[in-house]
Amino acid sequence: PPKWCRIDSDAAIEWFPLVDPLPEVLPLKSAGRCTCGAVASLDTPTRLLPCTIFSSHRSYPRMIEVRQCAACTVGKKFAGPDLRELGLFNFNNRSIYTHELLNAFTSAMTAHELPFHAFATTVDRSYTEHGSSSNFVSDETFRRVWYTFRRVQILGDSFECKDCGPNPPCVIFDGLTAGIQSWTTP
């Protein structure tokens, strides 16, 4: 989870700040994992594919190192790097998102009512303002990316109140923030 929403018991969970500047080639430092779940063989040669890194203010064209997945249809899917040590979330080896961008939505959404559409619109406007070479993704794509990112994070179910202590008997949530509709997850 983002640093701002951690409690003391989260101290052991690693935190990965954004690496700046971003490398021109996103390296595959292990065998890599495909979206189908298969781990690629280290004997499989690597290759470079073009990808786009999406941040809060602009996109960055880069290359990513991948291995072909033996479990998927030939030439269709690739096993790629995790990239969290760079502060990046590898959605599908073609679209990469900064933790900074995804955590910015989490922060805004938990501070006030913020629909995906409004966030995506403001990010797209920022891309225009900063002369990005591409537009930001659609709200539907960003919604899928954000929910996928939330699933891979280590999120506990303990709560702590500075007045009540750990695991208070009553926790009140904003329904918009806490409720996740099943149709939003793949």
Name the residue with higher pLDDT: 79 or 31. Answer: 79
Two tokens, residue 103: 């955590």
Predicted confidence (pLDDT) at residue 137 exceeds the cutoff of 60: yes
Predicted confidence (pLDDT) at residue 174 exceeds the cutoff of 90: no
Alpha-carbon span 61 to 52, nearest angstrom: 5
Alpha-carbon span 170 to 92, nearest angstrom: 39
Residue that is written with structure tokens 């006030």 in the block: 112
Question: Is residue 132 within 8 Å of 58, Cβ to Cβ?
Answer: yes
* SS3 label, residue 142: helix
Give mean pLDDT, residues 149-157: 71
The residues that bridge with 80 in the sheet, in sequence order, are 33
Give mean pLDDT, residues 156-174: 66
Alpha-carbon span 157 to 102, nearest angstrom: 20
Alpha-carbon span 118 to 124, nearest angstrom: 10
Confidence of residue 180 (pLDDT cuts 50, 70, 90): low
Confidence of residue 178 (pLDDT cuts 50, 70, 90): very low
What percent of the chain is modeled with pLDDT above 90? 48
Write down the pLDDT at residue 160: 66
Two tokens, residue 67: 């291995």
Which pLDDT tens digit goes with each residue over 2-17? 666 666 666 666 666 7
Alpha-carbon span 107 to 5, nearest angstrom: 9
User: Mean pLDDT, the chain, as a whole number?
Assistant: 83
Give me the phi and psi of 95, to 5 degrees please.
-115, 120
Alpha-carbon span 108 to 41, nearest angstrom: 41
Two tokens, residue 89: 């979330």
Give mean pLDDT, residues 44-71: 94
Among the listed residues 90, 87, 91, the one whose alpha carbon sits nearest the alpha carbon of residue 104: 87
Predicted confidence (pLDDT) at residue 173 exceeds the cutoff of 60: no
Predicted confidence (pLDDT) at residue 158 exceeds the cutoff of 70: no
Predicted confidence (pLDDT) at residue 172 exceeds the cutoff of 70: no
Residue type, position 120, single letter: A
Give mean pLDDT, residues 84-101: 94
Q: Which of 25-34, 70-79, 127-136 has the highest mean pLDDT?
A: 127-136
Alpha-carbon span 161 to 165, nearest angstrom: 5
Alpha helices in the chain (DSSP H): 99-111, 116-129, 139-152, 175-178
